[in-house]
Amino acid sequence: MKLDELTKGLFKYNPIFYLLLGLCPLLAVSTRVDNALGMSLAVLFVLVGSNVIISLLRQWIPPEVRIPCFIVVIASFVTIVDLFMYGYAPDLHERLGIYVPLIVVNCIILGRAEAFASKKSVSHSLLDGIGMGIGFMLGIVAIASVREVLSTGAMTIFGYTVIPGLTQTPAMVMLLPPGAFFTIAIIMALINYTTIRRARRR
Amino acid sequence: MMESVKRIVRISIPLILICIVSGATLTVSNDLTKERIAGVEQRKVNESLSMIFPGASFNKTGDYYTALMNGEEIGYAFIAQGKGYSGTIKTMVGMYQNGTIDGIYVISQLETPGLGTRIAEPDFTNQFSGKRIEDIRLRQDGGLIDSITGATISSRAITEIVRTRAEVVVNETR
């Protein structure tokens, strides 16, 4: 089934909770929901673009230099995102800072290029890119929601208050890297718990 | 011999072509965003000018700005930039006519998040206010600026960038 290529990235093989890829930007950017959304849109664009181009060129790229070829394609997409984000969303660009150019070395993107797009057809790679990109978005936004609410007591997305201030003494630790690890661990434990229970029932 | 040359050509041509196409695409993207980005940077410069000398008006003279308050010169503002720990640090510096620093405001930097990025925070930048140019050195280098723990390279970089540029501007304005 072709649609599987899209949905597998969302839950079953979620890049964050199942494949455990792309954790470094995840730790750094998941402090606020709007940063997480901006970051994951950039990743989605780069992932879909590089998957499609690499799949198009897959028979033509010599295996000996495939990694340099992949990196040039990925880095080009990242530079395009970087330029347009600087021009059209300067505040977001400033908050994400070094993590926009660092998408080049995001292992989800190189991982999908190497493991999937370089072997599968263009349409499959397109669906795979969309699925994995949205899967990354779901993961990072979930983590960012928990961290933002616990570390600030509120949630503000692009200037709109979604959750008003709940407490005057929020848990600062959630803003720091340990907070990201706690959140990832707890969500992953819940996912594994439900998967194991479901498997046993069958 | 011939075989290995052939092999090298066979594997390099696709990579070269990909690089050419990539270069062309990026040239186009750069052209498309150049004006927007220039606008964003100009806005940042204007913002930083008003942070340094609030309420003043500015005249651009050469590569520095003369700050005027009610028609009277109160000081100079100029951009100092140079290499940080990673990437370029660009900062606005305000200086009074007698050569003391009024304040600095970091326009852009790409230092290590959480460590080097603290050079842009008031706790660090406020130290520059009221210092004479020759004291704009880290304490361990004989100056009056305390470096940030864990980010000595970034602290030293911005301190040196500010002082070097201020020395040049002082000579120009004399």
The predicted-structure confidence for B110-159, as pLDDT tens digits, reads as follows 887 778 888 999 999 999 999 999 999 999 999 999 999 888 999 999 99
Domain count for chain A, please give it: 1
User: For position A152, what pLDDT does the model report?
Assistant: 81
Buried/exposed B112-128: b ≥16 CB within 10 Å, e otherwise: beeebbbbbeeebbebb
**What confidence score (pLDDT) does residue B163 get?**
95
Work out the end-to-end distance of chain A between its first and last CA atoms, rounded to an integer number of angstroms: 23
Mean pLDDT to the nearest integer, B86-100: 91
Type of residue found at B51? M
Residue B132 in domain? yes
Asked if residue B71 belongs to a domain, the reply is: yes
The reported pLDDT for the residue numbered A186 is: 92
Angle at the Cα of A127 from the Cα atoms of A125 and A131, rounded to 5 degrees:
115
B154 is in which domain, residue-wise?
Answer: 51-173
Residues of chain B positioned with their CB less than 8 A from the CB of A87:
33, 36-37, 40
Q: What residue of B is the nearest CA neighbor of A78?
A: B26
Q: What is the DSSP letter of A19?
A: S
Query: What is the Cα–Cα distance from A44 to A57, expressed in whole angstroms?
Result: 20
Residue A47 and residue A127: Cα distance in Å, rounded?
A: 11
**Among A98, A39, A93, A47, which Cα is nearest to A74's?**
A47
User: Residue A155's pLDDT is what?
Assistant: 82
Give the residue ranges of DSSP H helices in chain A: 4-7, 23-29, 33-56, 66-88, 90-96, 107-112, 122-152, 177-201
Residues in chain B closer than 8 A to A60 (CB atoms): 14
Note whether residue B42 is domain-resident: no
Total domain count, chain B: 1
- Residue B31 inside a domain? The answer is no
Query: What span, in angstroms and rounded, lies between the C-alpha atoms of A105 and A111?
Result: 10
- What average pLDDT score do residues B9-16 get? 92
pLDDT tens-place string over residues B18-42: 999 999 999 999 999 999 999 998 9
* pLDDT attached to residue A3: 80
Alpha carbon distance, N-terminus to C-terminus of chain B: 68
Buried b (16+ CB within 10 A) or exposed e, A19-40: bebbbebbbbbbbbbbbbbbbb
Residue A164, pLDDT score: 80
pTM comes to 0.81
Asked if residue B79 is part of any domain, the answer here is: yes
Q: What is the DSSP letter of A1?
A: -
| Chain A residues touching B15 at Cβ < 8 A | 62, 65, 68-69, 72
**B26 vs A80: CB contact, 8 Å cut-off?**
yes
In a domain, B5, yes or no: no
Nearest CB neighbour to B33, from listed A64, A83, A94? A83
> How confident is the model at residue A8, as a pLDDT?
85
* Contact residues, chain A, for B110 at CB < 8 Å: 97-98
- Of A7, A31, A9, the closest CA to residue A108 belongs to A9
Dihedral angle over CA of A126, A132, A134, A140, nearest 10: -150
User: Tens digit of pLDDT per residue, chain A (202 long)?
Assistant: 578 888 888 888 888 888 788 888 888 888 889 899 999 999 999 999 999 999 999 999 999 999 999 999 999 999 999 999 999 999 899 888 888 999 998 889 999 999 999 999 999 999 999 999 999 999 999 999 999 888 888 888 877 777 787 777 778 788 888 889 999 999 989 988 988 998 888 7
Is there a contact between B40 and A86 if contact means CB atoms under 8 Å apart?
Answer: yes
Residue B144 lies in a domain: yes
Is residue B163, in this structure, part of any structural domain at all? yes
Judged by CB atoms closer than 8 Å, whether chains meet at B18 and A83 is answered as: no
Whole-number pLDDT of residue A114: 92
Tell me the HSE value of B150 on the side-chain side, using a 13 A CA sphere: 8
Q: Please tell me what DSSP assigns to residue A120.
A: S
Sign of CA dihedral A50, A51, A53, A58: positive
Residue A59: its pLDDT value, please?
92
Structure confidence at residue A1 (pLDDT): 58
A1 within 8 A of A58, measured Cβ to Cβ: no
Give the model's pLDDT for residue A153: 81
Kindly list the residues of chain B whose beta carbon comes within 8 Å of any beta carbon in chain A: 10-12, 14-15, 18-19, 22, 25-26, 29-30, 32-33, 36-37, 40, 44, 86-87, 108, 110, 113, 117
A33: which 2 tokens?
């929901």
DSSP-derived 3-state class of residue A153: coil
Domain extent, residue A102, equals: 4-201
The 3-class secondary structure across chain B, one letter per residue, is CHHHHHHHHHHHHHHHHHHHHHHHHHHHHHHHHHHHHHHHHHHHHHHHHHHHCCCCEEEEECCEEEEEECCEEEEEEEEEEEECCCCEEEEEEEEECCCEEEEEEEEECCCCCCCHHHHHCHHHHHHHCCCEHHHCCEHHHCCCECCCCCCHHHHHHHHHHHHHHHHHHHHHHC
**How many angstroms separate the CA atoms of A39 and A101, rounded?**
11
What integer best gives the mean pLDDT of chain B?
A: 91
Query: Between chains, do A87 and B25 touch, taking CB under 8 Å as contact?
Result: no
